[in-house]
Chains A and B, each alone.
Chain A
Amino acid sequence: MEALDVEIRREGLSLGRPRVATLYVGGGTPSLLEPDEVARLGAALRDAFDLRPVEATVEANPATLDRARLESWAALGITRLSLGAQSLSAAGLHALGRTHQPEDIAPAVAAARSVGFDVNLDLIFGWPGQTAAAWREDLAAAVALGPDHLSCYPLELALEPEEAVANWPGAGWRSVERWRRRAAASQPDDAGIAGLYELAERVLGQNGYRHYEIANWALPGKRCRHNLGYWRNGDWLGVGAGAHSHLAGVRSRDVGVLPAYIAAIDRGGERIVDSAADVAVDTAMLALRLDDGLDLVRYGSRFGQDAAARVRTALCSLDGTRLLHWSGERVRLTARGRLLANEVFVRLLPDDTSSVSTSVQ
């Protein structure tokens, strides 16, 4: 908390106390913060920034919410609660190794509503042993809670070590890996997961949710503005261990392991810069995630005609694959394209053999 406080104040100062339009408090379980800690966070943010968010989200675990905490978040200006429900069935939560119970979720939604928050539910599908019928029940139960927004992710079990695991309770990466390998072995196969995804598209569509990003659905007017900023490759500042930032075309991040983060802040807050970032490529890739897709006219005026031509050539190489839908100069993923989006993204990567140099007029 101490380091975070220091970082917020330092960054706000160096950026000239800009207006904050959206705020997102997430990663880990910020809902565990005590009301006085939330108040301290709010004070730091208000001192360092012009904090008038049109949307401010906090991530929460359904089992850790109480009225006092919610009120403290509301006092900070939070407007939206993102609830890590994952599944609304006991079997699902057990298979995913979550500690909360299905019956924690409805009260958590009701509590959020009672303080006036919009609600997002995170759901995970493709867990070991999940059937289409089980997923249909999960979706129906989620819809019945009336969330404004839903994020649905296929369970992806990365088997390579992750830095953040060092911050988790438990026996470290080895035990995480063991659990993941076991789970991965009994997951539905890719065709099965694709079927579950298509089921979500149907069910949520029938219930008025718009599929506006590969993994996100929202009622009209309820798209997550903060995340739209990411997908439109806008600027943002991230603070805290492992937090990424994108400011003036430069991607950087804070070191992820907690003691190292604290030490880095003590030393003046140096960040790790991602030199591989390529604004033009990233922008095209991210735009295609959205249902608006990519407008090559606007893209061309932002990054130059050469860049737009490169993207067009890359995308045209997929003609006949039914991954993309063109309307004039606007291109978006088809339903099939959303499931095979990597085939599209891979083609947008620059060839390292021909050095990329954009001519600037």
Chain B
Amino acid sequence: MADAQSRIRNFCVIAHVDHGKTTLSDRLIELTGTVALRQMREQLLDSMELEREHGVTIKARAVRMAWTARDGEIHELNLIDTPGHVDFNYEVSRSLAACEGALLLVDASQGIEAQTLANAYLAIEQGLEVIPVINKIDLPSIDLDVVREDLRTTLGFKDEEILLASGKTGQGVAELLHAIVERVPPPKGDPSAPLRALIFDSHYDAYKGVVAHVRVVDGLLSADDRILPMATQKPSEMLELGVFTPEPRPVARLAAGEVGYAATGLKAVADCRVGDTLTLESRPAESPLPGYRPAKPMVFAGFYPQRAEDYPALRDALEKLRLNDASLIYEAETSQALGFGFRCGFLGLFHLEIIQQRLEREYDMDLIATSPSVEYRVITQKGDEVAVDNPAMLPDPGTIEEIREPWMKTTLITPTNYVGPIMDLAQNKRGTLLEMTYVDPTRAMLKYDMPLSEVIVDFYDQLKSRSQGYASLDYEFGEYRAADLVRLDILVAGTLIDALSVIVHRDKAQHIGRLLVHKLRGLIPKQMFDVRIQAAIGGKIIASENVSAKRKDVIAKCYGGDITRKKKLLEKQKEGKKRMKMVGSVEIPQEAFLAVLRIKDEP
């Protein structure tokens, strides 16, 4: 067995978004003959439609490959794919924990970016052998020396450690495979110890239940074993044990050091969570592998169906999505303005967008999503701490001693000529500059502490537009801090619209209030009466505008057959009314909610 382990290499590819990870992974699979050329689908590892569209990997897959090393020995190489976005940091860390080595990919034309560093640090912290690779060397007008300098100064690599490759042409790829065999250490698990297998990913399959992607660390897993996830304690009879080649192929057993999948028959990924340890019910391990923590949502929003009758369909859709995504949480909530819906929690803004798009595309839902919110910690005068993720639920200001909000440690990397505008942006977002260093002579790295509530409103878009797309961002949770926050309410004809309430910094309340009121004025159609639109903080009006009453709405000419035609116009008008929400006596079109909720926090 120990001999078998010595010919196993478990590795992953880590990179910033768009640095060519998927293309290179496909090339590795192709070159090892794992998939015949004609079977190659472009970008094999990204199997979800949305992933293709976003160009990022959401769900990791593991592929077993065979590679003949320079010494003639055939090795088993397991490529473990990692999610490529900042919101999925924890998932990345679990994928890394399943490996002994990592290829760190850097785009030859872009150099090191914020997530290159974040991922590289994660890999180094976990003691992985990191092989730096400059990718896309086929591109014209690239300067390899600058990228080498990036790798030297920021991560301390030596020039001779750095490999060159092109995922597109295949140049240098064989050299990478040799380097993996030669530099990445083999697994070192105890084959005779009780089973401990790390669940580094899972997905839901309609026929096989939750399929856990596992790396066996210690012991042996056989197809007829009864398994037990140690955190959730839900034992099950396996339906299938196998490896991805990359098509799933059943095997009789997975030994220490090996990577594969276990079809658990469990009904939801929440029962078999990423980061948990799988052991045997008959001979459980004493302690789980380190590092498990349940997914913790950071960003919250209310999702409401545009038509009230779609509520059950929305509930079913969320249920199905959650089967595959343990980090998505939701609970029913009611808004006076929007009716029945769900408050949902996400890992980050990007995660929120993916879920929203999947609901809209795969489940054909027409949604109204409220402004994203973070989880505030409210300290009451009695000394209690209350978590608030919905502005409408903020307690009476009179009872509040202090409001705390989450702050993020934020890393920005940008070409030096955009440093000015980006510092303005960060400052406008209440960021505190901690450090500014140079990655190379042309690019700076800025470290900020910044409130998450500012990061999730338009920060990424602004960052990209102010740097013409060149700046990159990474963030992780830092701490909760007290802040001077207020709830900004919107009133239409004297009625508070709960769905439009936002928690904002007091200094910005006036500006945002005016903006919201002005935008709404343009979106609320004239009614039979004047309609006053106001923004208020704790009952004090800070902005106000008026929609004057409708004066004329009549089909004046109606003879003979006109009624037939004119009724069609009225039917249309009625349809329009149906799509509106009645708030008090005012009809507010859905578009008004949608547009207001999309409002940007422009300075």
Contacts and interface: CB of A to CB of B under 8 A. Distances in A.
Interface of A: 153-154, 156, 190-191, 193-195, 197, 214-215, 227, 230-231, 236, 238, 243-244, 246, 251, 253, 274, 276-277, 282, 285-286, 289, 321, 323, 338-343, 345-346, 349
Contacts of A345: 555, 570
Contacts of B551: 190-191, 193-195, 339-340
A227 B558 CA distance: 9
B561 interface: yes
B555 A342 contact: yes
B582 to A, nearest CB: 11
Contact of B558 (A286, A321, A323, A343): A286
A156 B557 contact: yes
Interface string B522-565: 00000011000000000000000000101111111111110110
Residue in A236, A274, A340, A342 whose Cβ sees the most chain B Cβ within 10 Å: A342
Main secondary structure of the interface of B (DSSP, over half): loop
A338 B552 CA distance: 9
A158 B554 CA distance: 14
A292 to B, nearest CB: 16
A355 to B, nearest CB: 16
A82 to B, nearest CB: 11
A285 B568 CA distance: 13
Interface string B331-355: 0000000000000000000000000
Contacts, number: 90
Given A191-B551, A244-B564, A339-B551, A227 B559 contact: yes
15 contacts: A190-B551, A190-B552, A191-B552, A215-B556, A230-B560, A244-B560, A244-B561, A253-B561, A339-B553, A339-B554, A340-B553, A341-B554, A342-B573, A343-B553, A349-B574
A282 B571 CA distance: 13
B404 to A, nearest CB: 46
A230 B559 contact: yes
Residue in B548, B559, B568 whose Cβ sees the most chain A Cβ within 10 Å: B559
A246 B563 CA distance: 11
Contact of A349 (B528, B553, B560, B570): B570
B600 interface: no
A349 B567 CA distance: 8
A301 B552 CA distance: 33
A236 B574 CA distance: 29
B230 to A, nearest CB: 52
Interface string B560-603: 11011001101101100100000000000000000000000000
Residue in B528, B560, B564 whose Cβ sees the most chain A Cβ within 10 Å: B560
B556 A238 contact: no
A141 to B, nearest CB: 21
Question: B interface, how many residues as a size bin?
Answer: 20 to 34
A251 B570 contact: no
Contact of B554 (A227, A246, A277, A338): A338
Contacts of A153: 556-557
Given A321-B528, A340-B528, A194 B567 contact: no
Contact of A194 (B552, B564, B568): B552
Given A190-B551, A277-B564, A323-B528, A349 B571 contact: yes
Given A230-B560, A289-B558, A323-B528, A341 B553 contact: yes
Contacts of A338: 554
Nearest to A238: B560
Contacts of A349: 567, 570-571, 574
A236 B555 contact: no
Contact of A342 (B554, B560, B568): B554
Given A193-B552, A341-B555, A346 B564 contact: no
Nearest to B577: A346
Contact of A276 (B550, B555, B560, B567): B567
A287 B288 CA distance: 80
B557 A274 contact: no
Contacts of A214: 554, 556, 558
A215 B552 contact: no
Given A289-B558, A340-B528, 11 more contacts: A154-B556, A191-B551, A194-B551, A197-B552, A230-B558, A238-B561, A253-B564, A323-B528, A338-B554, A342-B554, A342-B555
Contacts of A341: 553-555
A197 B574 CA distance: 25
Residue in A274, A282, A345 whose Cβ sees the most chain B Cβ within 10 Å: A345
A334 B552 CA distance: 13
Contact of B556 (A156, A276, A340, A346): A156
Contact of A251 (B559, B564, B568, B574): B564
Contacts of A251: 561, 564
Contacts of B574: 346, 349
Nearest to B528: A321
A198 to B, nearest CB: 10
B126 to A, nearest CB: 58
Nearest to A160: B569
A341 B564 CA distance: 17
Contacts of B556: 153-154, 156, 214-215
Interface in B66-109: none
Residue in B548, B558, B570 whose Cβ sees the most chain A Cβ within 10 Å: B558
Nearest to A195: B551
Contacts of B571: 349
Nearest to A274: B564
Nearest to B556: A215
A343 B528 contact: yes
B553 to A, nearest CB: 4
B573 A346 contact: yes
A349 B566 CA distance: 12
B566 to A, nearest CB: 8
B572 to A, nearest CB: 10
Contacts of B568: 276
A339 B552 contact: yes
B24 to A, nearest CB: 55
Contacts of B553: 190, 339-343
Contact of A340 (B548, B550, B560, B563): B550
B561 A282 contact: no
B550 to A, nearest CB: 7
Contacts of A246: 560
A349 B571 CA distance: 7
Contacts of A193: 551-552
B555 A154 contact: no
A286 B560 CA distance: 11
A238 B560 CA distance: 9
Contacts of A227: 559
Contacts of A289: 558
Contacts of A230: 558-560, 563
A340 B552 contact: yes
Contacts of A195: 551
Contacts of A321: 528-529
A335 to B, nearest CB: 12
A289 B551 CA distance: 18
A316 B62 CA distance: 66
B567 A342 contact: no
